Amino acid sequence: MKSLKLPRAGVLGAAVLLALIGSASAETYNLTVDKIEMSTGEFTKSGIGFNGASPGPVLRFKEGEEVTINVKNNLSEATSIHWHGLILPYQEDGVPGISYEGIAPGEIFTYRFPIVQNGTYWFHSHSGFQEPDGAYGAIIIEAKDREPFRYDREYVIQLTDAHPHSGDRIMRNLKMMPDYYNRKQRTLFDFFDDAKDKGFDEALADRRAWGEMRMMPTDVEDLQGFTALMNGKGPDQNWTGLFKPGERVRLRFINSSAMTYFDVRIPGLKMTMVQADGNNVQPVTVDEFRIAVAETYDVIVRPRESKAFTVFAESMGRTAFARGTLAPRDGMSAAVPALRDAPLLTMADMGMAHEGMDHGAMAAMDHSMPSGMSHGGMKHANMAGGHAMGKGMSMEGMDHSMHGVMKMASGDPFYAPGSGIAPTAANGGKFLSYADLKAQSPLYEDREATREIELRLTGNMERYIWSINGTKFSDAEPIRLQYGERVRFKFVNETMMSHPMHLHGMWSIIDTGNGALDPIKHVVNVAPGTTVYMETEVDAEGQWAFHCHLSYHADSGMFRKVVVEGGPGGEQASAAAVSGG
């Protein structure tokens, strides 16, 4: 067991942290990391869990307490636990190679940190592909003050995409053939349907454009063939939460998937959104919402009738669904909606729909690109050969000259105008937008950013390498920030995939045009072909991870280390962060 020192300064500053720890009650929790067998109702596989199960136990903390968590590694390999979304000293963040060395086989490691927030969060391994293999669980932090909404009972609804292949095998297969798991290949019959809908010439031009680029409009998800789980149960196993008619029920949704976005609805019930990523928002009533990988959303529903309601979480690519039931009695169920038609990516997802470019221009795009791109960052061979122009578009070497042709759309981070994956609610209802999220009360003073940092989300689909600014993590320098500054991050998504970007240790404020009421989150989704801004109050010294939360994107390079220097911990803490100590 490691020897523990008082965490150095951390997010709140040394004086505040000392006072908080000195006055807080201390609670101790015990976790084991274990090999397990998982049954989804469709297949059984070996995996990794906490305390012998996946999901692991729901950890309940209280705002203001100090927690001690003993973790015993029962695996034959190293492991770790990251406390996703928790504000804590960097030494306790649980990222091997950045926060600490990890937890060796057979070792008992002790985390200790103060709880300085409330809401819904989760924890997971940050080692290899242990998280996709089942190493995840939920965290509920009870507020010390009265919450601004009422409810009678609550349930965690933790979603994931369980695949019969192990994470290591999935990564190998994607490296070998990026479309290995795409079960939605376009056929000749699809072409006939397109020709019927929009005319032969337009359908042919569209097919030619995609063919020239060696891309597929069906390539919405890297990973298919999984079973979607709700609280560890497959659709046929039917997780059930009970209620009494008239009760207000709080549902704490957590997306713990490796790769899958879900569109969530409960037919027959409106959902009132009250929290996003653990932070209170002004209540907004919706019929459906999309939850990106690693996000959490809390909603309140009020079923008044004594009947069952289906909780339906449909993958964004419409290849699978998780299903559960809210009911007044065990054993009840309600109708399960059919999967909607699979979406198709459009040229808007390439940022090209609003520049007056027709399909002919797309097919010959390598000759029309500015000089900085056509024969520099993107050669003709990359355009027509293999998948280099795929989702990642062989972005290494691309400069900003490409944006004259491929204009990135600003706006709601979930979609570009005209995008094939733009969310729409079933039956014409209200679908949540980031712009609908307004902070209940600002966490920070509304002030101008001190500087802007541009992060282009890039990649090479042929080699299945994902990157930031054309450079993968192993070749990149850390992002260096100064304690006390306010940094504006500009995400420019130059790929055809959505990327849920997660900065550890500090809150992210999405610029949705709501000024001081812009929502505060720990994950910011960036849709294909969009430019999204977020601002960060740099109030946590040390070193932190910053990455796409799609497991196979992060592992293949869309990852950075952030070093925060000059904090109240002084030279010792800064030196430790720079050296990795």
Neighbours of 187 (CB within 10 A): 9
Measured over all CA atoms, what is the biggest interatomic distance in the chain, rounded to whole angstroms?
A: 74
Q: Count of CB atoms within 10 A of residue 55's CB?
A: 23
Nearest to 239 by CA among 363, 139, 327: 327
- Three-state DSSP at 247 gives coil
Between CA 433 and CA 444, with CA 438 as vertex, the angle to 5 degrees is 135
Per-residue model confidence (pLDDT) at position 386: 29
Q: How high does pLDDT run on average in the chain? A: 82
Q: Give the residue carrying structure tokens 């320098």.
A: 477
Return the higher-pLDDT residue of 173 and 400: 173
| Alpha-carbon span 290 to 304, nearest angstrom | 25
**What confidence score (pLDDT) does residue 403 get?**
33
Q: For 526-580, how does the pLDDT look when each residue is reduced to its tens digit (9 = 90+)?
A: 998 899 999 999 999 999 999 999 999 999 999 999 999 998 875 544 444 444 4
- 82-99: b (≥16 Cβ within 10 Å) or e: bbbbbbbbbbbbbbbebb
Give the separation between CA 286 and CA 431, rounded to whole angstroms. 6
pLDDT digits 0-9 by tens, 247-276: 999 999 999 999 999 999 999 999 999 999
What is the distance between the terminal CA atoms of the chain, rounded to a whole angstrom? 18
Does the structure show a pLDDT above 50 at 67?
Answer: yes
Confidence (pLDDT) at 26: 77
List, in order, residues 6 or more apart from 475 with CB less than 8 Å away. none
Helix, coil or strand: residue 137: strand
Of residues 442 and 35, more confidently modeled = 35
Would you mind telling me the total number of residues written for the chain in this entry?
581
The whole-angstrom separation of Cα 257 and Cα 360 is: 38
In percent, the amount of the chain with pLDDT more than 70 equals 74
Residue 290: which residues within 8 A CB-CB, separation 6 or more? 261, 262, 263, 264, 316, 414, 423, 431, 432
Query: Among 47-51, 243-247, 350-354, 474-478, whose mean pLDDT is lowest?
Result: 350-354
